[in-house]
Structure 1
Amino acid sequence: MAASSGVNGESLPKCARIESLNKVTVVIGAQWGDEGKGKLVDMLAQTADVVCRCQGGNNAGHTVVVGDKKYDFHLLPSGILQPNCTSVIGNGVVINLPNFFDEIRKTEEKGLVGCMDRLVVSSQAHLVFDFHQKADGLHEESRGNKSLGTTKKGIGPAYSSKATRNGLRVGDLVGDFGVFTDRFRNLAQYYMQRYPTLDIEVETEIERYQELRNKIKPVVVDTVTFMNKALQNPSKRILVEGANATMLDIDFGTYPMVTSSNCTVGGVCTGLGIPPRNIGDVYGVVKAYTTRIGSGSFPTEFDEALDNEIRTKGAEFGVTTGRPRRCGWLDVVMLRYAHMINGFSAVILTKLDVLDELPEIKIGIAYLKDGKTLGYIPSCQNEFVDLKVEYITMPGWQTNISGVRNFADLPVNAQSYVRKVEELIGVPVKWIGVGQSRDSVIQLF
């Protein structure tokens, strides 16, 4: 091996740079969530060795339909359905352990046994306590008619504890329990002082977490080391399942009506501890129309009649909360912005079949303010006031496409809609979802 000169003239070995050939595949929502990420993750996980959650908590809701069984996942990666795939809950996730074990119980009751046998949880993931959830609800109530529409699952308060450095992590729980107990008491006291109406049964909670400690301990690992070891094996196929979506990202979304984590591609690196150079294909999940839950701007929102029609046809109710989703036309201004941030390799266009009965379909192609095209996504809610949308209108196909499995067999107008979406976003459509079940997919390439 050749040598080079050090700072004092001594010879130093010239080390060859070791390239990790492995790349992770990432699935990210391109809108306000509920795009159908679970469907794509389930499909890709069938050939994956590792599938990971990197951010968010049980405010996420991913649905996978297998035969006559419907699985709703909130903390568990959707890849848990695959028996030969290891599921990872990374350091960027916040975990409510009672809800976590309840989700495992409900999943196993549907016949998917042995979930814990193929699951690892990061020792660095922060814990969501019941008082985080209660504080979330109290905070929402205090906003009155200006509430953000959170799920009240305690996600924001848990990330707040993380940021103020008084939070507790999974590793704290499974480590020295005496230290955990002292820190838990301090954190509970902090919340009771901040929220005078909040009553926390501290000693009862400590007893409960001593039991939860024994249940979670067998699957707790240093997932940073786990992931990087997997990356050193080029044959390992690694999939990352993003929760929430681009327009709910704490930095890039429609702030403040957003979630409390980074749901864009950067959250993959910080939420799993993997290098940026190991990011491979990034697939955006795009619903064939647009939905969002809760308050906040929605430039392409339907009128009330069409809103009710599409909500009913598309079963647009939140997986986590059951709340009705607001519905609107596809917004490609938003999608181009999502592509700008995430760099999509391709997209899956889901729920195309929900548009089957419409005689014509609109696509929002530009935002207008004071009669002029706005060349960016507004960063403040007040910038959306009096915002107009420029649309193009395309003919519908008014044909049931749920049984179609080849692109060439789609009605011409449906094909045209897909191709127009590709053209407007500047990203190829690789898959099309035409129904709920895992096999209701058209693959284009």
Structure 2
Amino acid sequence: MKKTFASLLIASLAFGLAACGGSKTAESPDASSAAPSSSASSSASASPDQEKVKIIITNGKGEIASQWTQAAKDFMAANPNIEVVAQSQAVGDTLSILDKLTASGEVVTVAMLEPSAVLNKYKDFGIDLSGEKWNEETKDGFKNEQGQVVGFPFAIEGFGLVYNKKVVEKAVGGTFDPFSINTRDKLKELLDKIKASGVKYPVAYQTEAWSVSNHYSTQFLNQVADGSTIVSQLKEGKFDLAGNAAWNGYYDTMDLLASKDYNKYGERPLGQYYDDAHLSVGKGESAMLFNGNWAFDSLKAVAGDSFGFIPVPNDNNPDNPLNNKIVAGPTQILAINKNATPAQQEAGKKFLNWLVYDKAGQDFLVNKSQIISAFKNNPNKVTNPLGAAIADAIAQGKTMPFSTNYVVADDWFKIIGPDVQKYIVKKESRADLAKAIQTYCTSKK
């Protein structure tokens, strides 16, 4: 989820992923029917007995609107019997383009949605894609509660402790392996080394509600293979948050990151620190912050330094899988509308296959859009160093699911986020925080 600070605050992770969040919506100015160029059209011709079909495809990532339109043109060049109307939302618009088109009587064939929306608002939208061949190339096909793959993983994103490689390597005196920080004590030792190297505050810990709640505070769900089982237990009042070691472990680590000893904003933890935190880490005035691959948009504006991800340690057991992986997974998926005609659905499936198997589709996804591909057969690599770090972690099997996808991210931002912030400034105890989360979850039963 490539984001800017402004779009994050406006959208406030109606996601999320943000993805992290991000709001949906609004048509792109050029969101008209994309037509192949004359040169491209001449390279393919339709069989006279093939019936032409028209489909609408919607893009929820406004920052790739032009690429989305061009992808539609390239796809039509290869599939002249399919007419594609490519629609994109404007960054920051809060009205869903899918809702807007549906309300006007249009049938969207392929819609880009956030995972939590597929499990909630649009749970009856998509068709079963479990039998599609592209599932052989990814482990991230998005499943509904019945275990059916209903979502094509369009965008992979991740989060953890973003660090400035130059600053950290200076502190440790050479090459640094981020996955060597697999306990809380090792993280503290690293922070102390960074301080000793001349960096007064190693951490620039921004505390916006979406960051400390949607993202950071959902990580404990990955203590089991399927975090949705814990969410279900919470709704039933059958999960003891306050007594859970993993849940407590992440807040023990948060206490370290937000402390006056290491955090630039430790004296006054709550504030609008997003821009300043990225400037600090980008310039090397601080070494790390908690965020996702979308943070590179802010970091790259101030430095040419390299950046990577350190896992957020949960405890002091180096063998704990939570300590050895970063969070990564699909934050935007493509679903095919069950209300589209069979011909439109087949055309939509062809578009998904084109993204996976056609060189032009692969190029659009990674090279043109700088999106981390969920598909192992895509040979392209993103040049964004944080995206590249996530792609490498995926290849090494050092990732765990994007935990925000298990929850209603907007609720965690708006309802639970303020309680996490109160905890950070010690106006709420950890027991109070556990109670607040449990009360919310029970209300959603």
Decide which structure has greater strand share: 1
Decide which structure has greater helix share: 2
> Which gives a bigger RCO, structure 1 or 2 (Cα 8 Å, sep 6+)?
2
Tell me the TM-score normalised to structure 2 length: 0.24
Structure 1 or 2, whichever has the larger Rg, is 1
Tell me the TM-score normalised to structure 1 length: 0.24
